Amino acid sequence: MPKWRTVRDHLLYAHSESLIDDEEFILLFDLYTAKSPDLPYWKYDEFDLDKLSDDECITEFRFLKGHIYILVDAMKLPEVIKCYNGLLVDRVEALCIFLKRFAYPCRYLDMMPRFGRPVPQLCMISNAVMSFLYTQWNHLLSTFDQPWLTSDNIEEFCHAVFQKSGALENCFGFVDGTVRPICKPGKNQRVLYNGHKKVHAIKFQSLAVPNGLVANLFGPVEGKRHDSAMLAQSDLYNKLQQLDPLPNENPVCIYGDPAYPHRPQLQCPFKGARITPEQQEWNKAMSSVRVSVH
């Protein structure tokens, strides 16, 4: 049981035996009452992944049970995850807490029956795993120098996009900005206000490829930033220029919405009110394949 709950039980006993008067009891009982909701997490069993079926794992964590054990090794998680307050937790349970938190929007309260832990611990464990994974692997989202982004694979991505659209033969990915709303800040409200979405927000820029992975991620930046400003700040275009051309010597490119500048390595829709029917069809074809990738 929680320490404070034990103290309150002792206070009740002391008051019933007249060891403390009413005023002392009220003062001490209030002092040892948590300000947050007193949720009975101790009534739930401790977490044991081996007791779960594959169906339960794929539903709650989006991974099969065996894949979770593979994942802890692949992510190079330490045997024991240590939180900032000294709390120690096994890496398998810690990863499952992290996976459930990110599998679908939920409150830590909703996770309590599965893990038998109080809300503060679930929060600390999830944040500790997230911090470790970001520190260990964030470079994978900022560089094209990766085993799965070889020239041959990029050529396959280009072929997949062309098969779907019939428009661009050298496009291997799609860039876009995403707006993530936040609470209204006390300071710098204008900096974080996004006029297009009419919310205070932070923004990210991602580059998605046909296999469903994010090849590049940049952010966060202030909500007021334009997509073209994010592109310049991220240095993504310079990285694209360094990629090897296709066998026909055409430079590889990505595709973005009209907010981006038109460049050899960055293609955009035809703009204006007087575009030709062929240009309209081209825009429609690229728009459809862009939606299917995102």
The mean pLDDT of the chain is: 91
pLDDT grade, residue 89 (50/70/90)?
very high
In a domain, residue 7? The reply is no
What pLDDT does 65 receive? 96
Question: Which pair of structure tokens corresponds to residue 63?
Answer: 């991974």
In a domain, residue 212? The reply is yes
Which of 139, 159, 181 is at the close of a domain?
A: 139
Kindly report whether the global pTM for this prediction surpasses the value 0.85: no
What pLDDT does 293 receive? 46
Rounded CA gap, 285 and 267, in Å? 13
80/120 same-domain check: yes
Which of 89, 118, 139 is at the close of a domain?
A: 139
Q: Is the pLDDT of residue 274 over 90?
A: no
CA distances from 77 to 71, 87, 226, 273 (A): 9, 16, 37, 54
CB 49 within 8 A of CB 96: yes
Closest CA to 263 of 251, 272, 273: 251
| Full residue range of the structural domain in which residue 119 is found | 42-139
Rounded CA gap, 68 and 74, in Å? 10
Amino acid symbol at 257:
D
100/176 same-domain check: no
What pLDDT does 291 receive? 59
161/286 same-domain check: yes
Q: Taking the mean position of all CA atoms in its chain, how far away is CA 244? A: 30
Question: Which pair of structure tokens corresponds to residue 186?
Answer: 């006390």
Amino acid symbol at 67:
H
Rounded CA gap, 182 and 56, in Å? 32
Q: How many domains does the chain have?
A: 2
